[in-house]
Structure 1
Amino acid sequence: MRALPARRIATSALCATFLLGIAGPVAVAADHDATRDARATAAVLAPVPEADALLAQATSLGDVAGVLKPVTDLLTTALKADGGKLPAADATKLGDAVKEAIAKATASAPAAPQTPPAKTPAVPQTPAEPKAPTVPQTPAEPKKPEVNSPADPEIPAAPPAILPALPGAPALPAPGVAGRVAAPDLRADALKALQSSVDTLVQAAVAGDATALGAAAKKTVSGLVNFVAAVAVGGALPAPNLPGLPKPPTNVAAQSGSGG
């Protein structure tokens, strides 16, 4: 009779151990899966570092590519034509493609940066004009008895003090719009100059003037270089870091705004 309870206790302990052996790994695996799912969700929802700046750079590069392709197509077709002469329809089609690309690049350009105006030194306040000192009145001299003597001369009054007029304060310069001054837009200037050179190139190609076409082609290539440089120095693209690449000249910004 005593062996039965002990056997029951041993059986119960064995069953409990068996259940724990099965449920333990399952619980650990479930907890591991939940942690992995949470990490995956956090990785999906985490924003890309500096995503806005990278998108702006990608857009600028896309604008450069969108302008380079139609312009180089026009240059290649015109320079390969016999005598540099193109049919009017072909020249117009190529020129319209360039015009459309330039208009698209102009519309997608970021707003021109604005710089605060130079600080104007404070104008010192004009000191108040000092008052003239009060001249004390001369006491009247007592009358002398009339002894057939001429009358004493009257003492003239002291003349008022005259001070020179102080110059007025200079007028302050009027501030710009909302206190800021717009910086020059090199990108817009480069696109305008490029469009002008392309128009000249199309006219020379239609006329079949080889000399004028060569000059217009050089100006158009320079306009493309100026546009790429304006985008590069405008702050939208990172500085080149290719090993062995020479440093750009310090007057790149001025050259890019010259319009070729």
Structure 2
Amino acid sequence: MRMSRTAGLLLSTAVCGALALGTAGPAFSAVGAPSTAAAVDVPPIPGAEALGQQTKVLGDAAGVLKPVTDLLTAALAAPGGKLPAADADSLGKAVTDAIAKAGEAAPKAPTRGAEAVDLKAKALADLQVKVTALLEVAKKGDPKALAVAVQATITASVNVLVSIVLGGGLPAADLPGLPKLPTLPGVPPVPALPGVPETPKLPAVPGTPELPAAPALPAAPSVPGLGG
């Protein structure tokens, strides 16, 4: 089938136009694309360092309590209070590693009193003793002895938590109804965070002036002969 000369010219023109637009399209897009906005200075968070330290203290407490609660839950759920030796060893190792990590996390700077650091160290050491005793009982399967060991471990965990809360530089609880917690000697009070400056108020916008009243239009003259 032969193509007419007119059809050939039209087809050739369409192909050339498509190629031209296809090449120029990305260029047009690049020219029309909005430029990246200049970096805006972000103000620092007031008291970020102190807040970060308090957050770390909470993380240290959670890091110790989580493996302990895993061990207690497994021991209480075990038939007859007897854990398989492999499970007991695995759960006990997780607690030992967490206690060691919490002991190393104590800050070396003199931000906390020596007594607070000593109490935390004593609480961690006592928790390790109670956990070791719990593991020995759990491997034997003595329900009565297990109940005593679980209670002792819970109490030791509370000691660790309180020593961290009171000596870790955390703010005092402020929920109405809660008793005021004592403070440990040598622990400085939590510094107040600097206030955030208020946003300056915008000046009042002047009201729009009233427009002058439009003058009354003159009465139309009467046309002779149209009177009633």
TM-score normalised by L of structure 2 = 0.59
C-alpha displacement of 1:226: 0.8
Larger Rg: 1
For residue 239 of structure 1, what is the aligned residue in structure 2?
172
The counterpart of 1:183, out of the listed 103, 115, 127, is 115
For residue 218 of structure 1, what is the aligned residue in structure 2?
151
Does the 8 A contact of 1:201 with 1:216 survive in 2?
Answer: yes
**Greater RCO, 1 or 2 (C-alpha within 8 Å, sep 6+):** 1
C-alpha displacement of 1:210: 1.9
Q: Alpha carbons of 1:206 and 1:229: their partners in 2 closer, same or farther (altered >3 Å)? A: same
Does the 8 A contact of 1:87 with 1:206 survive in 2?
Answer: yes
Q: Alpha carbons of 1:253 and 1:196: their partners in 2 closer, same or farther (altered >3 Å)? A: farther
The counterpart of 2:62, out of the listed 60, 65, 78, is 65
For residue 48 of structure 1, what is the aligned residue in structure 2?
45
Q: For 2:109 and 2:119, locate their aligned partners in 1 and report how far apart those are by CA, in whole Å.
A: 9
Q: Indicate whether 1:206 and 2:203 are aligned.
A: no
- The one-letter amino acid paired with 2:115 is A
Q: SS of the residue aligned with 1:240?
A: coil
- The one-letter amino acid paired with 1:209 is D
C-alpha displacement of 1:237: 0.9
- Residue deviations 1:110-169, cap 9 Å, x none? 238489xxxxxxxxxxxxxxxxxxxxxxxxxxxxxxxxxxxxxxxxxxxxxxxxxxxxxx
Q: For 2:111 and 2:53, locate their aligned partners in 1 and report how far apart those are by CA, in whole Å.
A: 18
- The one-letter amino acid paired with 1:188 is A
For residue 97 of structure 1, what is the aligned residue in structure 2?
94
C-alpha displacement of 1:253: 5.4
Question: Mind listing any 5+ residue stretches in structure 1 that lack a counterpart?
Answer: 1-35, 116-180, 255-260
- Residue deviations 1:18-49, cap 9 Å, x none? xxxxxxxxxxxxxxxxxx968x31xx1x3322
Q: SS of the residue aligned with 2:73?
A: helix
The number of aligned residues is 148
Q: For 1:195 and 1:105, locate their aligned partners in 2 and report how far apart those are by CA, in whole Å.
A: 12
Question: Mind listing any 5+ residue stretches in structure 2 that lack a counterpart?
Answer: 1-36, 186-228
| Identical amino acids, percent of aligned pairs | 53
C-alpha displacement of 1:209: 1.9
C-alpha displacement of 1:202: 0.5
- Residue deviations 1:213-257, cap 9 Å, x none? 111111110111111111111042110011222223x4x859xxx
Map 1:68-87 → 2, pairs under 5 A: 68-87=65-84
Structure 1 outlier segments of 4+, above 4 Å: 112-115
Q: For 2:144 and 2:109, locate their aligned partners in 1 and report how far apart those are by CA, in whole Å.
A: 38
Does the 8 A contact of 1:113 with 1:183 survive in 2?
Answer: no
TM-score normalised by L of structure 1 = 0.52
- The one-letter amino acid paired with 1:205 is A
Q: For 1:114 and 1:237, locate their aligned partners in 2 and report how far apart those are by CA, in whole Å.
A: 12
Does the 8 A contact of 1:57 with 1:237 survive in 2?
Answer: yes
- The one-letter amino acid paired with 2:167 is G
